[in-house]
Amino acid sequence: MTKVIGLTGGIGSGKTTIANYFKELGVPVYIADDGARKIMQSEVILEQIKTIFGNAIFENNVLSRPKLAEIVFKDKEKLDQLNAIVHPAVKADFEAWLLQHEKYEYIIYEAAILFESGRYKECDFIITVTAPEEIRIKRVLERDNTTREHVLSRMKMQWNDEKRISGSNFVINNENLKKAREEVVKILKILNIKQNQS
């Protein structure tokens, strides 16, 4: 049976970079954010979002993700309401994807809020990606058209590294990309040994 490896880390930690390293090494990767993006284009989901958040977050009938993010990352209750719509749909999408990849020994399920959403319970192993806070902030500012204040408010909404690490099997420090890549190779070797022993 395919083992699910949860991959998580705070905003700007470089989860997607690490996920791509696994992909290069032949491990299929499901990115929860991409799944959510796809799902949030479905009319059923959009109607549910419109009911809660109103028309103000739509521009020419198209959902404005920055406007939605502006609301939910300032208000935990609104974030919980959004997650209640999107998470079950992402879970169903992932399960369908998993069936298509059941011939693989491992797959990576990459999610920023793996612990917060409770999805960690469905993982066989968990990897947390870390990086110093200032590096993370710098990465997000370079990647997104946003402010330092907005990045910090998003960080506050997520678990801190210490809490994530306490529930993880592996930790990758993603400050130096070369070393982080070496960690990915090392983890895969350990997982293969565990697979052969079971």
Q: Are 39 and 46 in contact (CB under 8 A)?
A: no
Binding site for ATP: which residues? Answer: 12-17
Q: Residue 9: in which H helix or E strand, if any?
A: strand 3-9
Binding site: which residues? Answer: 12-17
Give CA–CA dist 14/8, Å, rounded. 9
Segments of 85-179 assigned E as strands: 106-110, 125-130, 170-173
Give CA–CA dist 90/97, Å, rounded. 10
Q: Are 110 and 29 in contact (CB under 8 A)?
A: yes
Residues whose CB falls within 8 Å of the CB of residue 64, separated by 6 or more in sequence, listed in order = 57, 58
Task: Of 9, 14, 8, 17, give the one whose Cα is nearest residue 138.
Answer: 14
